[in-house]
Amino acid sequence: MTTASSETTTTHWTLTLVCQDQPGIVHAISGAVVQAGGNITESAQFSSHDTGTFFMRLQVEAPGERAALEGALAPVIAHYGMQHKLDVVGRPTRTLVLASKAAHCVNDLLFRQRAGQLPIEIPLILANHDDLSGLAEFYGKRFEHHPVTDPESKAAFEARVLQVVDRYDVELVVLARYMQILSPELCAALEGRAINIHHSFLPGFKGANPYRQAHARGVKLIGATAHFVTSDLDEGPIIEQNVVRVDHTRSAPELMAIGQDEESRTLTQAVRWFAEDRVLLDGARTIVFR
Amino acid sequence: MTTASSETTTTHWTLTLVCQDQPGIVHAISGAVVQAGGNITESAQFSSHDTGTFFMRLQVEAPGERAALEGALAPVIAHYGMQHKLDVVGRPTRTLVLASKAAHCVNDLLFRQRAGQLPIEIPLILANHDDLSGLAEFYGKRFEHHPVTDPESKAAFEARVLQVVDRYDVELVVLARYMQILSPELCAALEGRAINIHHSFLPGFKGANPYRQAHARGVKLIGATAHFVTSDLDEGPIIEQNVVRVDHTRSAPELMAIGQDEESRTLTQAVRWFAEDRVLLDGARTIVFR
Amino acid sequence: MTTASSETTTTHWTLTLVCQDQPGIVHAISGAVVQAGGNITESAQFSSHDTGTFFMRLQVEAPGERAALEGALAPVIAHYGMQHKLDVVGRPTRTLVLASKAAHCVNDLLFRQRAGQLPIEIPLILANHDDLSGLAEFYGKRFEHHPVTDPESKAAFEARVLQVVDRYDVELVVLARYMQILSPELCAALEGRAINIHHSFLPGFKGANPYRQAHARGVKLIGATAHFVTSDLDEGPIIEQNVVRVDHTRSAPELMAIGQDEESRTLTQAVRWFAEDRVLLDGARTIVFR
Amino acid sequence: MTTASSETTTTHWTLTLVCQDQPGIVHAISGAVVQAGGNITESAQFSSHDTGTFFMRLQVEAPGERAALEGALAPVIAHYGMQHKLDVVGRPTRTLVLASKAAHCVNDLLFRQRAGQLPIEIPLILANHDDLSGLAEFYGKRFEHHPVTDPESKAAFEARVLQVVDRYDVELVVLARYMQILSPELCAALEGRAINIHHSFLPGFKGANPYRQAHARGVKLIGATAHFVTSDLDEGPIIEQNVVRVDHTRSAPELMAIGQDEESRTLTQAVRWFAEDRVLLDGARTIVFR
């Protein structure tokens, strides 16, 4: 099929599209792909009845450069007023990790990233404690420790976050059990690109030491929720949730250890889906094209 | 193998014991069992660090009548100030079912009871709607319909509940999606022997139409919680919980259908454990000897 | 509510398509939908690397009669040599249920069908035992009992199956714990439209009384597999699987009761997906567009 | 820290007992505990109907030295012909880890051991490949690499295993994805104290590349089984099993990555239960007092 001069290597692209729902979108987009000589290898779409929004995620094999595919898509994107993102499948997402003392989430992210199971790169780990410097070193990651002890040092830490986001063109900020509340300004600046993890219980418990409360109420399930960061604490759009069964014999510290396992795997899963462009925002909800 | 005089058929007993924790309890109890010629076939115990209470559930094979085993146990029970219950394994628990319109929980209870998987007997189903009369008839259960439309008819319904509890020596009242709030007086009268089921979400949602709220927040897990009824609505001691995974494609009605499945199996499981004397109260928690 | 001229009621269609994978399919199909004035409300596709086959399932809202949409699709279907099925969303699938003595699967199918959670209609239940006639009657289903005791009665039973399939234009045959092995001829005649349920264990156990074997090996998980019927017993393409955790205290009969719960929900789920045109065959595998 | 007269520090003990089932055992054992001034804080027992064997696991708080408690127990143990083990709660189990190239299981064991969630100590990691030396070094564990390429080098490796078991008084050998089949002699020498992990599928697949077979059959669940090593390959008594749901979109390599997660958590769980003396053998089954 290809001639001798064919330097036109094929690239595998991810394309996500969001626009107001209306007839003809799929036909128009698939037409642009055909025009660029591409082939759709994976496709998922969803029309939200709540917001009247259309969401689509495609994987496309196409010859030639980005410009060729972008050029074919441009008129369609303009016509429908689409938000879109075109990316190479598997390109690592530039990810800033924020941490405190707890190792479990950071360890899971680093292990899986090195194992090739998590398409992210981590230019820096920023922490308000020094406990994880050895772990970072083992995995060959830069690690900065800036104590946060008062409003000034907190402002400095957040300024450093924004500086790093800017300098390294960071696409995702992961709060891997970073135990400081972000300022509303930082939440706003990172909207839609910062993921937090927190424990979850049925029923929910407000206030300090939730594992002790969970023990006192004798809950039978504990879990974790990964969600986008918003200024409404722990109430951002949910990306992923998991639970595990427990019983009356578990002490509060044991519940905590079990909960941490759920936190690790839930956060890593949410990060993976984000890095694969599988998570799209629909108001207060997420569309996750698993 | 047995001689003519062998009226000493062996009975299989369940024995539950609750008292203040202290050394020597197991030795004293097992001594009484030995004295009665019995054999412990199953045993579970738990010492609550929260309340300093000791909980034990035994299954015992013993010859002779109840009086023989009771007699051997009596001094130990008196010495330790134990609450206790001695019952024959498999004896059906007399259970009053309260219902409204929804069939799923009642259907599951009746099907499993008839299939021999749920050791309860149901002298009566009391409902504030007539929708389930046919289902009750199919399973050969008495069914009474008393509309609840105002304070007077509600008081009459609750009076009938207490009358039935008294007349049939009811041991367990199951609210199988009975959609009326019980009065504080009825909650108090049924304390520790009434089980309710309600939907559960992470995070929890207060107020009307929780499935619509869950849909709006894009939850990824929905579930159900079976708990003892207390006057603090939906906050009684938890007996059992389950969840199931959902995604963004589910409408609010689909979430409700999925949630109802969890409600059925969670309620039936809680009822089974109660009927098998596996559920004991430890303040606001339950001990469930599964 | 509608005026005399309003013949343009909108219908909600399901469309499934299978053909050799190649570029341009999505564009061609979506073009036909646009041409018919339709709108794609749900779409899922999959390209099998194993067989080079393309699978697609669409839901389409379109005005007018079936002929209009069929007409627009016809050239595309012809061009790509597609197998296709066009159906109205929610139309009940005509389903023949085969049963023996066990009630759990049949009960679950009938209860959910009546509750509006399972889009099937059941013209007949055929059984080789009479045990379930009362259950069928309660749900208002015709029930025929034909004992199978020898090769002749077995052949008669199978002939009746084919006769019913033919007379009622049956689309799906469900073996709801029908405990007879189908002849190779019947398996062939029902290929791709008969679903069976069987228990599953890790590791698998061959031969009689698998629950006793599972107990003897002390398995920690038991489950169920719903699969298409093929002449290779219990080895047809898998549609759905579930497991549940058990422990050493469970007797073989208890394992069986637990396993039956998994059988019921797994079979019902598989039937639901089939009835919603979500299950497509890819050689020995199924594609399930959940 | 203690004054001269206070030699009565309390120790928290684990006691496991196995003997032929008969009346009076619990009474006799609890009597010995009382005699030693101890208190039973946790207790689980099981009578196997299959083998007529009685299993018990106790946790006991008792004053004084081991000899005091051993002395009180000795007559009972002798009378009933019990196998027993008395150990201090939380004492790390001396564990030899065998590895090959795959990191996932070893990483999980080392991370949790350091996090204080796994009561083992690891005097040595023995591997037939060098890939994991860096990981071992990060966690401060000794690592030896002995290639296994022929019968001679295999025999040398196994001899080293036995030597290490002997020298360090190893209590548990963990095959953390060690990809060599152990000789029958080594299996026999390590009976009841070597744990292996392998992938599990419904249905099971024999032979090479099971993940490819699982993909070809379109399985919907993949999992892992941790079991004791016996000379009957992958058929030893099962300690723990887990599964996770997958669908048709997963490639064979993706199935493998998902399966490895299950392997890690399943193996770690089995090791934890063994280290806490919660796993007892009942013929071909395990009793796991969770």
The per-residue pLDDT for C9 is 84
Task: Give D-chain residues touching A245 at CB under 8 angstroms.
Answer: none
Of A27, A33, A44, the CB nearest to C31: A27
| Residue A2 clears pLDDT 50, i.e. is over it | no
Task: Report, as an integer, the average pLDDT of A57-84.
Answer: 95
Q: In a 3-state reduction of DSSP, which class is residue C72?
A: helix
- Interface probe, candidates B17, B20, B25, B30, chain D, greatest D C-beta count within 10 A: B30
Confidence of residue B6 (pLDDT cuts 50, 70, 90): very low
| Residue A6 clears pLDDT 50, i.e. is over it | no
Distance of residue C266 Cα from the nearest chain D Cα, in angstroms: 12
Task: Report, as an integer, the average pLDDT of A46-75.
Answer: 93
Of A249, A257, A265, the CB nearest to D117: A257
The per-residue pLDDT for A206 is 67
Name which residue leads in pLDDT, C215 or D190: D190
Does A43 contact C45 at a Cβ distance shorter than 8 Å? yes
Task: Give A-chain residues touching B234 at CB under 8 angstroms.
Answer: 203
The per-residue pLDDT for C137 is 95
The per-residue pLDDT for B8 is 63
Task: Report, as an integer, the average pLDDT of B82-108.
Answer: 97
| Contacts for A116 with CB less than 8 Å, ≥ 6 apart | none
Highest mean pLDDT among C38-42, C52-56, C255-259: C52-56
The 3-state secondary structure of chain B reads: CCCCCCCCCEEEEEEEEEEECCCCHHHHHHHHHHHCCCEEEEEEEEECCCCCEEEEEEEEEEECCHHHHHHHHHHHHHHHCCEEEEEECCCCEEEEEEECCCCHHHHHHHHHHHCCCCCEEEEEEEECCCCCHHHHHHCCCCEEECCCCCHHHHHHHHHHHHHHHHHCCCCEEEECCCCCCCCHHHHHHCCCCEEEEEEEECCCCCCCCHHHHHHHHCCCEEEEEEEECCCCCCCCCEEEEEEEECCCCCCHHHHHHHHHHHHHHHHHHHHHHHHCCCEEEECCEEEECC
Name which residue leads in pLDDT, B209 or D57: D57
Domains of chain B and any CATH numbers: 10-88 (3.30.70.260), 93-288 (3.40.50.170)
| Residue C4 clears pLDDT 80, i.e. is over it | no
Task: Report, as an integer, the average pLDDT of A10-17.
Answer: 96
Task: Give C-chain residues touching A44 at CB under 8 angstroms.
Answer: 43-44
- Give yes or no for D45 touching B (CB within 8 A): yes
Of B76-80, B133-137, B254-258, minimum mean pLDDT range:
B254-258
Task: Give D-chain residues touching A133 at CB under 8 angstroms.
Answer: none
| Residue A201 clears pLDDT 90, i.e. is over it | no
Task: Report, as an integer, the average pLDDT of B157-168.
Answer: 98
- Interface probe, candidates A35, A45, A58, chain C, greatest C C-beta count within 10 A: A45
Distance CA D120, CA D102 (A): 21
| Residue A7 clears pLDDT 70, i.e. is over it | no
Q: Which residues of C are catalytic?
A: 234
Confidence of residue A5 (pLDDT cuts 50, 70, 90): very low
Task: Report, as an integer, the average pLDDT of C135-163.
Answer: 97
Tell me the pLDDT tens digit for each residue of A142-177.
999 999 999 999 999 999 999 999 999 999 999 999
Confidence of residue C200 (pLDDT cuts 50, 70, 90): confident
Q: Which chains touch D (3 or more CB pairs under 8 A)?
A: A, B, C
Task: Report, as an integer, the average pLDDT of A166-195.
Answer: 97
Of B200, B202, B218, the CB nearest to A285: B218
Query: Least CA distance to C242: which residue of chain D?
Result: D221
Does A115 contact D138 at a Cβ distance shorter than 8 Å? no
The per-residue pLDDT for C174 is 98
The per-residue pLDDT for B162 is 98
> pLDDT over 90 for what percent of chain B?
77
> pLDDT over 70 for what percent of chain B?
94
The per-residue pLDDT for C6 is 44
| Residue C255 clears pLDDT 80, i.e. is over it | yes
Task: Give C-chain residues touching B104 at CB under 8 angstroms.
Answer: 115
| Residue C114 clears pLDDT 60, i.e. is over it | yes
- Give yes or no for B242 touching A (CB within 8 A): yes
Does C221 contact D242 at a Cβ distance shorter than 8 Å? yes
Of B26, B37, B41, the CB nearest to D47: B41
The per-residue pLDDT for B121 is 98
Task: Report, as an integer, the average pLDDT of C17-45.
Answer: 93
- Give yes or no for C290 touching A (CB within 8 A): no
Name which residue leads in pLDDT, B46 or A204: B46
Q: Which residues of A are catalytic?
A: 234
The per-residue pLDDT for B2 is 37
DSSP 8-state secondary structure symbol assigned to residue A130: S
Task: Report, as an integer, the average pLDDT of C202-228.
Answer: 83
Task: Give D-chain residues touching A104 at CB under 8 angstroms.
Answer: 115
Of C103, C117, C261, the CB nearest to B257: C117
- Interface probe, candidates A202, A266, A278, chain B, greatest B C-beta count within 10 A: A202
| Residue B233 clears pLDDT 80, i.e. is over it | no
Q: In a 3-state reduction of DSSP, which class is residue C168?
A: coil
Distance of residue C130 Cα from the nearest chain B Cα, in angstroms: 16
Name which residue leads in pLDDT, D200 or C163: C163
Mean of per-residue pLDDT scores for chain A? 92
What is the Rg, in whole angstroms, of the alpha carbon atoms belonging to chain C?
A: 21
Distance CA A13, CA A66 (A): 9
Does A38 contact C44 at a Cβ distance shorter than 8 Å? no
Tell me the pLDDT tens digit for each residue of D256-270.
989 999 999 999 999
The per-residue pLDDT for C1 is 35
CA atoms within 13 A on the CB side of A154: 12
The per-residue pLDDT for D218 is 86
What is the Rg, in whole angstroms, of the alpha carbon atoms belonging to chain A?
A: 21
| Contacts for B83 with CB less than 8 Å, ≥ 6 apart | B17, B18, B19
Distance CA C70, CA C48 (A): 26
